[in-house]
């Protein structure tokens, strides 16, 4: 992978493809509770779109998209979303992660569970994306090829 000069075809192809992969990843996250999909799968697709730019363009270019030090706070933020949803449900009187007790007003219980699942799927997707990107960053840290 020693690069003398970057290949413009690879860079152009990945630049064109990466936003669509990211969009599809968001679609998979948001349809997880209704059709095949969910946090894990969507997070992996989001990570794939970020890693495509890192592989094709190198560190200098991909730093414009997600910085390397930003992945740890993003992952912790994803876990915080998951954990605080459960904690809010527990404070409101139910069991941990009992979505019925979440404080959304004016909805029937099935819709409140729908929204609860959606919130934690977003948290999981964010955490999975940040962690997969962090694993890749750790592996190529200090190497002079990208």
Q: Which residues bind another protein (CB under 8 A)?
A: 35-36, 38, 40-41, 72-73, 76, 79-80, 83, 86-87, 90, 94-100, 128, 131-132, 135, 138-139
Cβ closer to another protein: 58 or 94? 94
Cβ closer to another protein: 47 or 53? 47
Could you give phi then psi for residue 76, rounded to 5 degrees?
-65, -35
Judge contact between 56 and 50, C-beta under 8 A: no
Cβ closer to another protein: 11 or 98? 98
Work out how close the CB of 107 gets to another protein at its nearest, in angstroms, rounded to a whole number.
17
Three-class secondary structure assignment of 87-125: HHHHHCCCCCCCHHHCCCCCCCHHHHHHHHHHHHHHHHH
Work out how close the CB of 94 gets to another protein at its nearest, in angstroms, rounded to a whole number.
6
Work out how close the CB of 108 gets to another protein at its nearest, in angstroms, rounded to a whole number.
16
Cβ closer to another protein: 35 or 105? 35
Q: How many CB atoms lie within 10 A of CB 11?
A: 15
Residues ≥6 apart with Cβ < 8 Å to 144: none
Cβ closer to another protein: 53 or 133? 133
Work out how close the CB of 135 gets to another protein at its nearest, in angstroms, rounded to a whole number.
5
Residues ≥6 apart with Cβ < 8 Å to 112: 99, 100, 102, 104
Work out how close the CB of 4 gets to another protein at its nearest, in angstroms, rounded to a whole number.
25
């Amino acid at each position: 992978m020693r690069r003398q000069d970057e290949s413009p075809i690879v860079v152009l192809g990945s630049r064109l493809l990466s936003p669509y992969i990211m969009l599809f990843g968001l679609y998979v996250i948001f349809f997880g509770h209704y059709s095949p999909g969910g946090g894990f799968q969507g997070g992996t697709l989001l990570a794939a779109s970020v890693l495509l730019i890192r592989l094709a363009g190198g560190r200098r270019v991909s730093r414009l998209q997600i910085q390397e030090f930003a992945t740890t706070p993003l992952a912790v933020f994803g876990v915080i979303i998951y954990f605080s949803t459960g904690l809010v449900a527990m404070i409101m009187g139910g069991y941990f992660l009992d979505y019925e007790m979440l404080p959304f007003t004016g909805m029937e219980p099935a819709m409140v569970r729908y929204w609860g699942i959606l919130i934690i799927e977003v948290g999981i997707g964010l955490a999975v994306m940040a962690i997969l990107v962090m694993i890749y960053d750790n592996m190529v840290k200090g190497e002079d090829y990208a």
